[in-house]
């Protein structure tokens, strides 16, 4: 089928919940993807920070094929070696020692909220304005953006919001009924918003003082995206619960909430569960994906390439007055414009580079961590051409 035929069929049969580009992708390899017409693109968005290893990484593909031949799924009422091994690996790379496996970022956050409430026996969750934590009813309520939740009222009780980056607002919001604070270490969907230096450490200290749990939502920032395995490591903080998803399975949908035994033990059999969570296929994919991340030193490459890309983008900033700010960390970068960025996305796509627009005026770049210098140069050259056409 060609692009138009696919679009027509989609519009007829798929609920129209996505504002899509007029592009039908068929396959990818490394940092490149192809559309059904045979055109290639440099993927600078990596499926919303999912394809950290690029597309079709041979080790992940092999692990999936091998596992699919043995067993795709079995119930969580049985043990599997794949689940136990993945959980062990997650504890080795994170500051936690117990894991619950889920299927999506929203589900991991739901689980984290349930765990915090069960452990503390308290109900209130404090989140931040402009945050994004998912689309289920509890996570959309935690999300600090009205547009995502207004049509879906009534929303669950027990959530309140404070400005991101303001420690005094957080301190004032805590009450004796507060179970946890949920935060993104960098607000991704909200426009790649970096908190002020020291904020996360201050939040950690505040949580300790007030006996409140800190849930760090690393769904977007985890697995090397920001130049550390987890963004919490930039300030050396120790969250009580970390949630991860996106890049975890090398493209395969799998997620986790991770905690320390003291807190994790609040969950007893029957308290939480998922039919598909931690299925052998997902676990095999995630174990392979994390091993590739470690074997190929992709976390330090993310830092190195991220610094290079940010430096090149700063050069563009000095050329175009409508570039307000370049910010980010590792390979999660935002280019804030004073103009609407939808046209930039469209024009960059026509020139063979896929980028994303978030929060209306921010170009979000989140390429695979395997991106090389030549490819980074191509991204910057294409953006340069697009910006030149727009000025």
Ligand X SMILES: Cc1ncc(COP(=O)(O)O)c(C=O)c1O
In angstroms, the Cα distances linking 336 to 21, 45, 211 are: 21, 16, 37
**Contact stretch for ligand X (CB under 6 A) within 7-15, 27-35, 98-106, 280-288:** 98-106
Query: Which residues, 6 or more positions from 49, have their beta carbon under 8 angstroms from its beta carbon?
Result: 188, 220, 225, 246, 247, 332, 366
Q: Which of 127, 213, 215, 219 contacts ligand X by CB under 6 A?
A: 219
Q: Is 168 annotated as a binding residue?
A: no
For ligand X, which is the closer residue by CB, 133 or 361?
A: 133
**What are the b/e assignments for 50-84, b being 16+ CB within 10 Å?**
bbbbbbebeebeebbeebeeeeeeeeeeeebebbe
**Tally of CB atoms within 10 A around 209:** 10
Q: Which stretch binds ligand X (CB under 6 A): 159-167, 213-221, 230-238, 296-304?
A: 213-221
Q: Does 37 show up as a binding residue in the annotation?
A: no
Gyration radius (Cα) of the chain, Å: 21
With binding defined as CB under 6 A, does residue 225 bind ligand X?
A: no
Site string for ligand X, 355-384 (x = CB under 6 A): ------------------------------
The reply to whether 271 belongs to the active site is no
Residue 80 or 220 with smaller CB distance to ligand X: 220
Question: Can residue 188 be called a binding residue for ligand X (CB under 6 A)?
Answer: yes
217 is in an annotated binding site: yes
CA distances to 141, 181, 244, 256, 279 from 134, in Å = 9, 16, 12, 14, 22
Please report whether residue 189 would count as binding ligand X according to CB under 6 A.
yes
76 neighbors 274 (Cβ within 8 angstroms): yes
Choose among 384, 386, 367: nearest CA to 375: 367
Q: Nearest-CB residue to ligand X?
A: 105
Residue closer to ligand X (CB basis): 51 or 109: 109
Q: Which of these segments, 54-62, 75-83, 86-94, 184-192, binds ligand X (CB under 6 A)?
A: 184-192
- Burial of residue 304 (number of CB atoms within 10 Å: 0-12, 13-18, 19+): middle
The distance of Cα 385 from the centroid of its chain, to the nearest Å, equals 29
45 catalytically annotated: no
CB 315, min distance to ligand X, A: 29
Q: Per CB under 6 A, which of residues 34..63 are in contact with ligand X?
A: 48
Is there a binding annotation on residue 178? no
Residues across the chain: 391
Residue 236 CB coordination number (10 Å): 11
Binding window for ligand X (CB under 6 A); candidates: 56-64, 104-112, 283-291, 372-380: 104-112
Number of continuous H segments (helices) and E segments (strands) in the chain: 14, 15
Is 13 an annotated catalytic residue? no
User: Judged by CB under 6 A, does residue 133 bind ligand X?
Assistant: yes
Of 132, 199, 223, 387, which lies in the binding site for ligand X, with binding defined by CB under 6 A? 132
Annotated binding site for N(2)-acetyl-L-ornithine: 135, 274
Annotated binding site: 105-106, 132, 135, 217-220, 274-275
Active site residues: 132, 217, 246
């Amino acid at each position: 089928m060609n692009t138009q035929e696919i679009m027509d069929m989609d519009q007829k049969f798929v609920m129209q919940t996505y504002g899509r580009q007029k592009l039908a992708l068929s396959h990818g390899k490394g940092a490149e993807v192809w559309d059904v017409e045979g055109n290639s693109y440099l993927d600078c968005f990596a499926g919303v920070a999912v394809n950290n290893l690029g597309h079709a990484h041979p080790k992940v593909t092999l692990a999936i094929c091998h596992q699919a031949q043995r067993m795709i799924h079995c119930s969580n009422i049985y043990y599997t070696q794949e689940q136990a091994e993945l959980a062990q690996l997650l504890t080795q790379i994170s500051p936690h020692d117990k894991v619950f496996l889920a299927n999506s970022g929203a589900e991991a956050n739901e689980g984290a909220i349930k765990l915090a409430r069960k452990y503390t026996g308290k109900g209130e969750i404090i989140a931040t304005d402009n945050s994004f934590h998912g689309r289920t009813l509890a996570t959309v309520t935690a999300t600090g953006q009205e547009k995502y939740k207004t049509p879906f009222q009534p929303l669950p009780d027990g959530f309140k919001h404070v400005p991101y980056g303001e420690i005094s607002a957080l301190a004032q919001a805590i009450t004796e009924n507060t179970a946890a604070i949920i935060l993104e270490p960098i607000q991704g969907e909200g426009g790649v918003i970096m908190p002020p230096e020291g904020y996360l450490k201050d939040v950690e200290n505040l949580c300790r003082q007030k006996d409140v749990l800190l849930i760090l939502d690393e769904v977007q920032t985890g697995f090397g995206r920001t130049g550390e395995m987890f963004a919490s490591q930039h300030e050396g903080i120790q969250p009580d619960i970390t949630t991860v998803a996106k890049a975890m399975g090398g493209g395969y949908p799998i997620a986790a909430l991770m905690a320390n035994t003291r807190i994790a033990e609040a969950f007893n059999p029957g308290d939480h569960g998922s039919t598909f969570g931690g299925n052998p296929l997902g676990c095999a994919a995630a174990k392979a994906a994390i091993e590739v991340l470690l074997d190929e030193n992709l976390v330090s490459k993310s830092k190195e390439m991220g610094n290079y890309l940010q430096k090149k983008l700063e050069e563009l900033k000095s050329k175009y007055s409508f570039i307000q700010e370049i910010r980010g960390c590792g390979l999660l970068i935002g280019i804030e414009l004073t103009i609407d960025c939808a046209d930039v996305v469209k024009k960059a796509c026509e020139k063979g580079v896929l980028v994303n627009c978030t929060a209306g005026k921010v170009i979000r770049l989140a390429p695979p961590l395997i991106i090389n210098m030549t490819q980074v140069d191509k991204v910057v050259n294409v953006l340069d051409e697009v910006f030149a056409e727009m000025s």
